Structure 1
Amino acid sequence: MTAKKEQREIKKTEIELYTINKVRELRESRNVGQKRLSLELKLSESYVGQTEDPYNKAKYNLNHLNEIARFFNVPYSYFFPETHVEKDCVEEYLDIHPKLRANYEKMMKNYEEKARKKLEEQERKIKAKAKTKKKK
């Protein structure tokens, strides 16, 4: 089983893992099981377990974190580092999700193409305007 997990890719970014680990530490220090926390969040019984598995793509959203903070009576900020993480988490997220990277790259290509066409049109208009001024 261990060898099989080593071959699998982690499905979470550094900041996601940080937050998930803070929830786990708090949950364990307060003797709250995964099932109980899942039910408190109105999620499936296995959701917290899936979230705590780095090879599973499940994770907490901001609403979940707010409810967890309320449940444990801790500040919302408890789940975040004091300063930003050094790693580019957006780039890391795109590495983990190649389909999203492909969509992003396609979107950027389209954006750049539109910008290029707009610039060409502006240049064409400037040349046309200059040409009509020369004729006068």
Structure 2
Amino acid sequence: MAATQENIKKKMNTEIELFVINKVKEYRIAAKLSKRKLSLELRLNHNYVSRTENPNLDTKYNLNHLNELAKIFNCTIADFMPTPYVKQDTIEEYLEIHPKQKARNEKMMKDYEEKGRVKREAKEKAAAKTKKK
């Protein structure tokens, strides 16, 4: 039971994702559209918007959704974005929320650094050989 409660409390969206979700919600409420109606307007599952607005779930709008939402609400995609940007490091925030992605990213960086080290050592060896001649 404790693990389930821990998962519920876990942050599921980054600050920018929450901003977009809340901005779409503002437009939806102003247009007096139900979550179900907006989901259907987007040609998505009838409870997609409801799942997106639930802070305990990680459902998000993608760029295609935002484009269609801009058409529905007669606004621009930019109207759903913060101006000029979110100050928080949202990449780091995303990696904290998604530990598997963070582990893959860390492994990739380690491999990249190792490859660079091997390449530098090979160049140094080649330069040392050239110098001896």
Alignment match, 2:36: 35
Q: TM-score, normalised by structure 2?
A: 0.92
Give distance in 2, aligned partners of 1:42 and 1:122. 57
Alignment match, 2:13: 12
Deviation for aligned residue 1:7: 5.3
Q: Does 1:51 align with 2:48?
A: no
Give distance in 1, aligned partners of 2:64 and 2:123. 46
Deviation for aligned residue 1:43: 1.1
1:1-136 pair list within 5 angstroms = 4=5, 8-132=9-133
Report the structure number with the largest CA radius of gyration. 1
Give distance in 1, aligned partners of 2:24 and 2:13. 15
Deviation for aligned residue 1:45: 0.8
CA 1:86–1:70: 2 relative to 1, 3 Å: same
1:95-135, Cα deviation, whole Å (9 max, x unpaired): 00000000000100100000000000010110011111xxx
Residue identity in the other structure for 2:116: A
Give distance in 2, aligned partners of 1:71 and 1:14. 24
CA 1:127–1:93: 2 relative to 1, 3 Å: same
Deviation beyond 6 Å, 4+ runs, structure 1: none
Deviation for aligned residue 1:84: 1.1
Maintained 8 Å contact 2:8/2:56: no
Specify the SS of the correspondent of 1:48.
Answer: helix
1:46-97, Cα deviation, whole Å (9 max, x unpaired): 1111111111011000110010000111111110111111100000000000
- Structure 2: 5+ residue stretches without partners: none
Identity value in percent: 47
Residue identity in the other structure for 2:68: E
Indicate the RMSD between aligned Cα atoms, in angstroms: 1.4
Give distance in 2, aligned partners of 1:44 and 1:127. 65
Q: TM-score, normalised by structure 1?
A: 0.90
Residue identity in the other structure for 1:123: E
